[in-house]
Structure 1
Amino acid sequence: MSIQEQCEKLSGTLRGATNRAADLTGGGCALLFSSMPGSNTPDARTQLRASSGFGDEAAAAAAAAALISAAEKVLDGAHTLRLAAPPILGDRGTGGVTIHPLTCDGRVNGALVVGYPTRPEQAVFQQIAQLANSASIHLDHALISAELVELRKSLVEQESGDDDQNDELLQLSEALFAQDIELLRNNEKLGKIEKLKNDFIEKMSRELRTPLNSIIESIISVLAGENDAISSAAKESLRNALDEGTAFQRTLENILDLWRIKQNELPIEIREVSIAETIGEAIFSVQDTLSDKPVTIRKEIKSPMPVFKADLAKVNQILFLLLDNAAKFSEAGEIVIRASLTENELACEVTDQGIGMCSDDLEFIFDEFYQVDAGHTSKYRGAGLGLTLVRDLLVLLEGEMNLDSEAGRGTKVQIRIPVQLTE
């Protein structure tokens, strides 16, 4: 692998580390300073390589400038530092800042700076420290790999190397091999953790669904009965409880569907589909999400639109999830859903004028449980599963999705699904 390819791969890893760190804080931010393969200047490790939780690159650069002196102290002392956040971080740093050195076998190659919106629990500190350790190994591995490439190149150019260079080459190879083993161990641990998480989610979802169904059925039964003993206020409370229970039930179903897809246990059932009726049902289903907000939904169905065959339940679920997301993140304006049929392909588009997403969010928007507004005081409720499930359902149906969004301007999602035209 060339040094340029190593840099590109490492850049993706470092961006992932800052995004994960900001996500763990629940609305904070992260900056990562480090050396890069091929960078041998004295100040290389103080260069900003990745950031997350900022509206744009300029905001991240300003925060980096305010924190670089503290980061340099950590780089020189190789110890973790906790301090009050500079004012420039605003709400992202209300709970303080930690700076973790990215060290490996005594080599300090960079620093991970994390800002917290509230004072975090010890478990979060530990997760951030583990994240910094993992980033340290990946970073050092890339730097040693680049050094090894350069040394081999030098030996080839000289056609024969002296003993000192050969010894250095051997030492670097041994260090690289040791890190390969460590990375494999980390990946194995992550695999086990992922399996335990999936098993836990599946079991808990099933255990919760049965009593929840009973509660919902009981509330419906009470509301449907003619009981004058129940006051209007009590009935309103029951309706609110029913809404909350139904939303929770839908979240559990989404979790189970994701689990079934991973286990290849969600079958495809082909039926006739009237897209006009399907869109109408999806629009009706999101009325509770819209509540009293001044938001309208308009549908545009391009003619001709004959009945076709596809997995009706999954098409319905995809359209509902997209509309529900649009409704949840729209405070006013219009949501437009469009549909057209070209040969054997259904094309749908959902456009809203909601809060939109910044570039940092777009990179991880399809991750399970990832939320655009992930703070503890989030006004937008949800589990962060909607777009993840849409993507997985589309993969199952051999469909495609394209998402465009801009913070403060809104979001547009386009999907394409193969269908069978009826005779």
Structure 2
Amino acid sequence: MTPIVVHRLRLQGEQDVFFLRARGREVARAVGLDTQDQIRVAVALSDIGRAVLVGSASVTVVFQVESTPWGAFRVDLSWQGAPPTPVEQAGWETARRLMDEVDSQDKDGTRGITLRKRFPVDLPPMGEDYLTRLRTQLAKLTRGSPLDEMRVQNDELLLTLDRLERHQGELVRLNEELEETNTGVVALYGELTAELEQTNRGVVALYGELEDRSRQLKDANEAKARFWSNISHELRTPINSVIGLTRLLLGPGASPLDAEQRQQVSMIADSGETLLSLVHELLDIAKAESGKLEPHPADTDLKDLFGQLRGTLAPLVPSDAVALVVDDPPAPAVVVTDETLLSRILRNLVSNGLKFTESGQVRLTADHHDGVWRFRVTDTGIGIPEHEQERVFEEFHQVPNPLQARSGGTGLGLPYARRLTEILGGQLRLDSTLGRGTRVVVEIPDGAGMELTR
């Protein structure tokens, strides 16, 4: 948009420098600039005027208002030829510091300078009626004497000095506050440093204690593994002897036993088998913790495996109120894994479900997706409280419940199943609702990265 002219002057000679300064300040005040900006405009025009109004030089001054791209007060000075004093050396730097923009032009022998001072952002727009009244008002201004301008300059100087004095006082106060704050910061820094040093000493001591505890825990785990391994080996021989003797007593070539004796010997045999199974689990757990239990992957037919589980677990069904359901796996039901370890995992989970289910069913299912076999053992048993669902994976931990006396158990089944699952490269998850049942999901990768054992 074309700048709007609000006032125009024709100046000639050095005597008009004061007039240029005074009129610049008056027009700046009329268009809405604040006091500080009025003084900046006046000083900039005064310094530029001293350079261009030399001798009898004639200068045209046009005061304008720009509305785009931002509102600005614009002053154009133009003259013919070059002034005796180069503008770039006299007044130019002062004007640059005080005004937002200072440009020079030189075209066809006419030289000029343009100065701009942006309006405050909260200055309302100037309508045509306002600009008309502004032009009329400025046209009525009279030329003041140099003495009057000197008096105004003195007033401006006193005003500036007063403001500087107030600012100086404020700076002194702020410096005192800053010094006081710095003193507090230094003291606080000293306190924090002392606390940090004390904390570091505590952390070092705690770290040393944790190392000692870790070493003790490692030694305890190794001792426990050795103990289980030794006990398992020591117990296996006498238990096998007991089982062998019961088989001899119950065999066809043994002396006849009456019904009560046969029942008692059978109970001894069952207890021996249970104890032998527990010894095997303890030995496997010891091997797993020591890293010596390694899987031997091979092609495993899940249909055959599920059939074996269906037959061997059927005698564990506690009553006719409980149904054991083993669904056939989807074809092709072949997974590359350690069949023995997988069988132990599923047998433990299903037998665990049968122990704690009074009515309903215990179901074993399997499905295959994205190279992973998922085995789900779901029961409608008594369930596990939420706060106990992680603790059931601690060795020898048993959840107190009314069926505990009937079910027996050692608290090793779930920890044992989880360790074997991890050895097979899988994971075991448990989800249970008290009074509604439990679901255990075992995810086993389909032989990824495993070398087959033939």
Residue among 247, 252, 262 paired with 1:220: 247
Give how far 1:335 is off.
0.8
Q: Which runs of 5+ in 1 are unaligned?
A: 1-154
> CA–CA distance in 1 between the matches of 2:322 and 2:403?
26
Residue 403 (structure 1) aligns with: 430
1:212-258 Cα shifts (integer Å, max 9, x gaps): 01111111122122546311111011111111111111111111111
Cα RMSD after superposing both structures: 2.8
Q: What does 1:313-392 correspond to in 2, within 5 Å?
A: 313-342=340-369, 344-373=371-400, 378-392=405-419
2:279 is equivalent to residue 252 of structure 1: yes
Give how far 1:369 is off.
1.7
Cα separation, partners in 2 of 1:376 and 1:397, compared to 1, 3 Å: closer
Residue 446 (structure 2) aligns with: 419
User: Contact 1:293 / 1:331 at 8 angstroms: preserved in 2?
Assistant: no
Give how far 1:284 is off.
2.3
Choose 1 or 2 for highest CA Rg: 2
Instruction: Name the SS for the 2:407 alignment partner.
Output: coil
User: Contact 1:356 / 1:408 at 8 angstroms: preserved in 2?
Assistant: yes
Cα separation, partners in 2 of 1:376 and 1:275, compared to 1, 3 Å: closer
Give how far 1:325 is off.
0.8
> CA–CA distance in 2 between the matches of 1:410 and 1:269?
34
Cα separation, partners in 2 of 1:302 and 1:317, compared to 1, 3 Å: closer
Q: What does 1:16-415 correspond to in 2, within 5 Å?
A: 158=185, 161=188, 163-227=190-254, 229-292=256-319, 294-342=321-369, 344-373=371-400, 378-415=405-442
Cα separation, partners in 2 of 1:415 and 1:175, compared to 1, 3 Å: closer
Cα separation, partners in 2 of 1:410 and 1:162, compared to 1, 3 Å: closer
1:279-320 Cα shifts (integer Å, max 9, x gaps): 121232223432446311112235333444322111211111
User: Contact 2:362 / 2:380 at 8 angstroms: preserved in 1?
Assistant: yes
Instruction: Name the SS for the 1:369 alignment partner.
Output: coil
**Equivalent residue pairs, number:** 267
Cα separation, partners in 2 of 1:264 and 1:282, compared to 1, 3 Å: same
> CA–CA distance in 1 between the matches of 2:435 and 2:386?
12
Q: Which runs of 5+ in 2 are unaligned?
A: 1-181
> CA–CA distance in 2 between the matches of 1:377 and 1:322?
16
Cα separation, partners in 2 of 1:335 and 1:165, compared to 1, 3 Å: closer
> CA–CA distance in 2 between the matches of 1:344 and 1:175?
50
> CA–CA distance in 1 between the matches of 2:359 and 2:401?
21
> CA–CA distance in 2 between the matches of 1:175 and 1:266?
41
> CA–CA distance in 1 between the matches of 2:429 and 2:349?
12
Counterpart residue type for residue 341 of structure 1: H
Counterpart residue type for residue 193 of structure 1: A
Instruction: Name the SS for the 1:339 alignment partner.
Output: strand
> CA–CA distance in 2 between the matches of 1:376 and 1:158?
66
Higher relative contact order (CA 8 A, sep 6+): 1
